[in-house]
Amino acid sequence: MTERPGRRLFRPVLVVPVLALGAAAVLGWRLTRGPASVSQDEEAGSSSPAAVLRRMPDPSSYVSARAGKEDPTTFGELVKAYDLWASRSDALEARREIVTALLAHPDLRVGMEALMTAVAADQTPKAMDPMWPTLVQAVASRWDAVTFSFGRDMVALEDRPKAKDLLIDSLTEVKPEKLADSQKPLLASDLIDMYPSLRPDQKPGVDKALQALAGPDIVKILHGQGLTEGSNELQMVVDKKQAVENVLKHPVPDKPAEE
């Protein structure tokens, strides 16, 4: 798989071909999943489906009974359960199982869209969310040379703050060796483009990823370090940045898989 070079994060021409194959499946579960949050009428009725699900005595059994099923109704139930159990400390393991079940869908587009909807519905702040490490690692584990382009497009399209945070954090956790040589500078370029708009709590993870992808000099220039006119340090940073630009313009062909 060969990536097109470019520094722009928003690439609408690429988005349509990547997402078209999964559009029908995504639309199917969206139409049947119902609202992710609990309405006032549901809260008022103690026997409403949402109220019953919220009080489910054995969350893990509920999830186990639905694991492995791919129909839209089941996915909708799991998405809603993830949200409704956010305040239940005893449902933490069940919510981890929901993450696994959603991402196990054979069509990654469907599983990712379902998970992003579940995450967006949970109003727990990222810094206080006990599920966050699990979410980041689970999503990051799905990115590789084949799915990388889809991940970039998801970041560009996602406008729900918590879901977008998850996508960005997951891309910073991708192991460079899982990407093709031509994709590493593309990811570095995306992270550099996003850097000015990142919150302070997001930058350490991005710094770490950029250091692995492009070296420490790129991180220094983003932090404004070593920028004294005429200094050797500045020239090193300029050279490194130019090297990244050159790779973007002339990507290295993917190496054939070793037998």
**Residue 226, C-beta contacts closer than 8 angstroms, at least 6 positions apart:** 220, 233, 234, 236, 237
Is residue 213 within 8 A of residue 187, CB to CB? The reply is: yes
Where the chain has pLDDT below 50, the residues are 1-44, 229-230, 233-234, 257-259
pTM: 0.72
Place of tokens 């919220």: 54
Residue 215, pLDDT score: 85
Residue 241, pLDDT score: 57
Please tell me the distance from the alpha carbon of residue 168 to that of residue 173, in angstroms, as a whole number.
9
Q: Are residues 153 and 210 located together in one domain of the fold?
A: no
Query: And the tokens for 60?
Result: 């893990």
Place of tokens 């190496």: 255
Domain assignment of residue 247, given as a range: 178-259
Q: Are residues 236 and 186 located together in one domain of the fold?
A: yes
Other C-beta atoms closer than 10 Å to the C-beta of 212 total 17
**Residue 246, C-beta contacts closer than 8 angstroms, at least 6 positions apart:** none
Residue 15, pLDDT score: 43
Residue where a domain stops, chosen among 128, 157, 174 = 174
Q: Are residues 75 and 120 located together in one domain of the fold?
A: yes
Q: Are residues 86 and 68 located together in one domain of the fold?
A: yes
Q: Are residues 161 and 186 located together in one domain of the fold?
A: no
Q: Is 232 exposed, middle or buried (0-12, 13-18, 19+ CB in 10 A)?
A: exposed
Alpha helices in the chain (DSSP H): 12-33, 40-44, 49-54, 59-64, 72-84, 92-103, 108-121, 132-140, 148-157, 161-172, 184-194, 203-214, 216-222, 232-249
Q: Are residues 2 and 102 located together in one domain of the fold?
A: yes
